[in-house]
């Protein structure tokens, strides 16, 4: 077994792990990020595509990407569609901010390129990962690297950025953590289509047939979703059936026309809200989906992960400089302040816009009343705009 040393061992080299490794490098702190997947596996997993204002700023200011400004699309609002008509939420007017349409896969590729350019130590395709000695002074990360060599990485600190199905969060003994869950009685059917853009901004639609979301990728490729049963199977949905369902949910008297084309990829996305607290156990810290999951309505997942690692990089820098893990105590309260706001926002957008088969006519009518209240009220619309574009980063304590 090969023994190695680093300051921060990072389990997971998705956007959270790579951004952390990048921010630490800017502060002169060594790290090694290990991921069980290959770079191309991560790059080809489609995820959400909306970046908050602060996420874009982090990418640009830390020198990861100006591609987001060149190739991303600034969105100054969204459309809420219900009762067959669009209602615009104007982010600029209400919150003085925009979001950027820039897919998570592009964020990942920019980060992986930046790490490679700067000589960052990232090990993709590392199997049999395990973590150990979390409460000691030198936690370890063991794995078998891409060449089949077993390695033990000894660290000052370990970060679990290994996603919602990763191993790190399960290493916290049950008596030292609390897990909060919410399951939903629906999922999203997501697809990529070779079609022209249907509308200048994203459309979040509620209809009696269920939710639909019209998002975008490029001039010629679009990303869309519709609410489906969690047990839905991709093979039961032909292209024609998908377009028919989308049209049914987007129908209205305003002449809106969805522009269709061949479907390139189809997936069913499960829905779940989850938080594990605290985010620290000994010298291990959890970040991103490893610590919390949100349903995709509102696209908060990646933005939350980036906000976590921004706080974490600063706290780790203090701990490393002081040669004392004391500053780690600040991580959980600072990160959770944003996490629970985003949990509420994602839950609220989800329940307001989806149809719950278990509910009755009262719930249906009540949710339409809620939407009508939001779009008619300056305060209601501003609340949505502030949440969607992201709250300002937590102030250091």
Q: 232, 151 in Cβ contact below 8 A?
A: no
Q: What is the sign of the dihedral through the CA atoms of 162, 167, 173 and 178? A: positive
Would you please indicate which residues are annotated as catalytic (active-site) residues? 75, 204, 296, 300, 388
The reply to whether 387 sits near ligand PHB by the rule CB under 6 A is no
9-68 residues near ligand PHB, rule: CB under 6 A: 48-50
Strands ordered across the beta sheet of 272-277: 178-183, 272-277, 292-293
Which residues does 211 contact at the CB level (< 8 Å), separation at least 6? 186, 204, 205, 225, 226, 227, 249, 297, 353, 354, 355
**Contact predicate 74/98, CB 8 Å:** yes
CB of 120 to ligand PHB, least distance (A): 27
Q: Which is nearer to ligand PHB, 158 or 250 (CB)?
A: 250
Size of residue set near ligand PHB by CB under 6 A: 11
Question: Does residue 215 interact with ligand PHB by CB under 6 A?
Answer: yes
Instruction: Figure out which of the listed residues 81, 115, 223, 310 binds ligand PHB, where binding follows CB under 6 A.
Output: 223
Residues in the chain: 397
Q: Which of 52, 330 has the CB closer to ligand PHB?
A: 52
Residue 244 beta carbon to ligand PHB: minimum distance, rounded to whole angstroms = 22
Which residue in the set 21, 297, 303, 350 belongs to the binding site for ligand PHB (CB under 6 A)? 297
Q: Which tokens sit at 139?
A: 């936690």
Residue 48 vs 312, nearer CB to ligand PHB: 48
Backbone Cα Rg of the chain: 21
Peptide bond before residue 21 is cis, with ω within 30 degrees of 0: no
Question: Closer CB to ligand PHB, residue 112 or residue 302?
Answer: 302
Distance CA(223)–CA(243), nearest Å, equals 13
CB of 222 to ligand PHB, least distance (A): 9
Q: Does 302 bind ligand PHB (CB under 6 A)?
A: no
* Among the listed residues 17, 139, 163, 296, the single contact to ligand PHB using CB under 6 A: 296
- Contacts of ligand PHB in 126-165 (CB under 6 A): none
Residue 31 tokens, joined: 């790290």
Alpha helices in 51-103 (DSSP H): 53-61, 67-71, 91-95
- Among 298, 305, 308, 310, contact with ligand PHB (rule: CB under 6 A): 298
The residue behind tokens 């980060």 is 111
For residue 172, the tally of other CB atoms under 10 A from its CB is 21
Residues 179-208: x where in contact with ligand PHB by CB under 6 A, - otherwise, as a string: -----------------------x------
Q: Which is nearer to ligand PHB, 159 or 203 (CB)?
A: 203
CB-nearer residue toward ligand PHB: 280 or 300: 300
Q: Who's near 81: CB < 8 A, 6+ residues apart? A: 87, 203, 204, 205, 206, 250, 252, 256
Catalog residues that contact ligand PHB under the rule CB under 6 A: 48-50, 202, 213, 215, 223, 296-299
């Amino acid at each position: 077994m090969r023994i190695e040393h680093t300051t921060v061992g990072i389990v997971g080299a998705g956007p959270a792990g790579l951004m952390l490794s990048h921010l630490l490098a800017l502060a002169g702190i060594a790290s090694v990020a290990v991921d069980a997947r290959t770079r191309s596996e991560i790059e080809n997993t489609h995820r959400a595509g909306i970046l908050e204002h602060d996420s874009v700023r982090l990418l640009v200011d830390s020198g990861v990407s100006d591609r987001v400004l060149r190739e991303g699309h600034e969105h100054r609002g969204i459309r809420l569609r219900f009762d067959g008509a669009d209602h615009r939420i104007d982010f600029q007017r209400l919150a003085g901010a925009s979001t950027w349409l820039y897919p998570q896969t592009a964020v990942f590729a920019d980060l992986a390129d930046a790490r490679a350019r700067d000589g960052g130590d990232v090990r993709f395709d590392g199997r049999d990962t395990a973590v150990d000695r979390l409460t000691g002074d030198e936690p370890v990360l063991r794995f078998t690297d891409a060449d089949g060599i077993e390695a033990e990485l000894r660290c000052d600190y370990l970060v679990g950025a290994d996603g919602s199905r990763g191993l790190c969060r399960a290493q916290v003994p049950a008596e030292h953590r609390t897990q909060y869950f919410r399951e939903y009685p629906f999922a999203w059917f997501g697809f990529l289509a070779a079609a022209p853009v249907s509308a200048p901004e994203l459309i979040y639609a509620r209809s009696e047939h269920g939710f639909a979301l019209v998002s975008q990728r490029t001039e010629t490729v679009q990303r869309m979703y519709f609410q489906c049963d969690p047990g839905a199977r991709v093979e039961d949905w032909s292209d024609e059936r998908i377009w028919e369902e989308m049209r049914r949910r987007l129908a209205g008297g305003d002449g809106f026309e969805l522009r269709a084309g061949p479907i390139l990829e189809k997936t069913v996305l499960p829905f779940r809200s989850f938080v594990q607290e605290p985010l620290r156990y000994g010298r291990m810290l959890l970040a991103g989906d490893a610590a919390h999951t949100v349903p995709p309505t509102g696209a908060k997942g990646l933005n939350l992960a980036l906000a976590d690692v921004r706080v974490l990089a600063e706290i780790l820098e203090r701990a490393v400089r002081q040669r004392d893990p004391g500053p780690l105590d600040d991580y959980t309260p600072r990160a959770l302040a944003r996490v629970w706001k985003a949990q509420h926002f994602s839950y609220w957008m989800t329940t307001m816009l989806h149809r719950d088969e278990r509910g009755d006519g009262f719930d249906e009518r009540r949710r339409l009343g809620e939407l009508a209240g939001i779009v008619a009220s300056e305060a209601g619309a501003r609340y949505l705009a502030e949440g969607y574009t992201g709250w300002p980063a937590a102030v250091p304590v």
